[in-house]
Amino acid sequence: MATKTRILILTADAGFGHRSAANAIEAALKQTHGDECEAEIVNALDHRLVPSFLRDSQSDYDKISKQMPDLYRFGYTASDSSVPTAIFESALTVMLLPALRDIVRQIQPQAVVTTYPLYQAPLVAMNTLSRRSIPVLTVVTDLATVHRIWFNEYVDACLVPTQTVQLLAVEAGVPRDRVEITGLPVSPKIAADTRSPADVRRELGWRTDMTTALAVGSKRVSGMVDVLRALNHSALPLQLIAVAGGDDAAYEQLQSMDWHAAAHVYNFVQNMPDLMRAADCVICKAGGLIVTESLARGLPLILIDVIPGQETGNAEVVTQGGAGALASTPVDALETLFDWLQDGGRLLAERAESARRLGRPRAAFDVADRAWQAAVRGPTDPPGRLDAERSKLRELLQTFDVRWE
C-alpha cells in the first residue's frame, strides 16, 4: 500500500475561528485527496513543552477581550509594528521551538498549514536550523484588521481572505508572489448544501412561512439576550432562533423568557451549517468565523458586539460591503430589522445579495489545493540567504539554553 502524503495543520483554541478553519481545511483535504492524504490537526499550545502561561493564554484571550477591552485594544495596537513584532517572534521561537520540533518529528509531514499566527517564526527557525525546509503555509483568519504577527516573509504561502489583507501582507514584507486571496476556510458542507431554507426548517421543526433571524452567542458575546428580548416584544413578523453557544447563563435566561414570537432556543449545537441554511439573517458578534460563514451562505448580518482590534476590520467588511449593520443597542437591532422587512423585505434581499457577493463558500477547497501542491513538492533545501539567520538563531537559543540539534 502506498504511503500517504502527510499534512500537519496547526491551530489553537483562542476563540472558535482558528480551530474551525483548521477543521474546514482537513475536511476539504479528505474530500479531494482522501485516499492519498493524511491530514492531522494539532493544537501546539497544548504540548507538554510549551510554557504554561502561553498555554493558558488561550483562555485568557476570552477574559481580557471581554472584561478589559481597553487594555486589549492598547496591547493589540502597541504591538502591531515591526520592532515589537520582531522581539515577540524571537520570544516565540525560544518558547515554542522545542514543542514544534517534537510534533514535526512525530508526524513527519510533507507540509505544514497554520491557522494561528504564533507558530510561523518557530517553524521558520526550525527549517533554517535543520537545513531541510518543510513548506509552511499560513491561513490568515481575520478579514481586514490583521496584526503584523500574521506575516512572515519566509513562509512558502500566505493565504488571505481579502484584498485588504493581501496589501497588508505585502506591506509587511511578504513577497507578493507568495500572497494569495483564497477567502477564509469554512465548512465544505456550506458549498455542498443545495436544500431550500424551507426544507431545512421543516426538518428542524421550525415554521416555514416566516422570516427567520438566527442569533448566535457565546461567552464572548455581550448583549444577545437583551437584543432578543427587544425583538420578542416588537411584534415584527419574525421567527427567532437563539443559540447560546455554550453560555449556560444566557441559555437559562433564554429558556425562561416568556416568548411572544415564534422561537427556538439551543445551547451548544453541532449542526450550525443546517441552522444557517434555514435562516434569513444572522445576529452575532463580528468574529471572523461567524462573519465568513454567514457571507458564504449569503446571510445579512446584524453585528451586536465587536472586539477592538482584529474584529473591527471584520465589521467594516460587512458594513462597507452592504451586507449588514452595526447595532450597539437593542433598539439599533430592532430598527435595523424593521427597515429590512419594509416593502416586502426589499432591503433584506439587497443585503443578502451583497453577502453572496462577498462570500467565498469554496475557500477551504482552494486552501486544501495549495496545501496539497506544497506537500507533493515536499521539503527542500533552505535558500542560502538564511545562513546569516542560522547563526543568529544559534546564538539566541544558546542564550536561553534551548536545545535545537
Residue-wise pLDDT for 185-222, tens only, equals 999 988 888 999 999 999 999 999 999 999 999 887 88
Helices (H), 263-362: 272-278, 288-297, 310-320, 330-358
Please report which confidence band the pLDDT of residue 397 belongs to, taking 50, 70 and 90 as the band edges.
confident
pLDDT digits (tens, 9 = 90+) for 295-337: 999 999 999 999 877 688 899 999 999 999 999 999 999 999 9
| CB within 8 Å of 232: residues ≥ 6 apart | 240, 257, 259, 260, 261, 263
Name the pLDDT band for 53 (thresholds 50, 70, 90): confident
- Above 90 in pLDDT, residue 114? yes
Domain boundaries of the chain, sorted by first residue: 5-186+361-399, 190-358
CB 67 within 8 A of CB 97: no
Cα within 13 Å of Cα(159), Cβ side: 27
Pairing of strands 238-243, 262-266: parallel
Q: Do domains 5-186+361-399 and 190-358 have the same CATH topology?
A: yes
Q: Which of 12-16, 66-70, 193-197, 201-205 has the highest mean pLDDT?
A: 201-205
Q: What is the CATH number of domain 5-186+361-399?
A: 3.40.50.2000
pLDDT at site 59: 63
Instruction: Check residue 68 and give its pLDDT.
Output: 44
pTM above 0.85, yes or no: no
Q: How confident is the model at residue 388 (pLDDT cuts 50, 70, 90)?
A: low
* d(C-alpha 267, C-alpha 242), whole Å: 8
326-337 pLDDT, tens digit per residue, is 999 999 999 999
pLDDT of 398 > 90? The answer is no
Residue 281: predicted pLDDT: 98
pLDDT, position 80: 58
β-pair partners for 5: 37
Q: Specify whether the CB–CB gap between 318 and 324 falls below 8 A.
A: yes
Residue with cell 449542526: 271
pLDDT tops 60 at residue 61: no
* Cβ partners under 8 Å of residue 359, min gap 6: 183, 292, 294, 295, 296, 297, 298
* Kind plus residue range of the DSSP H or E element containing 263: strand 262-266
Fold of 190-358: Rossmann fold (3.40.50)
Q: Which amino acid makes up residue 16?
A: F
Mean pLDDT of the chain: 88
Residue 385 CB neighbour total at 10 angstroms: 8
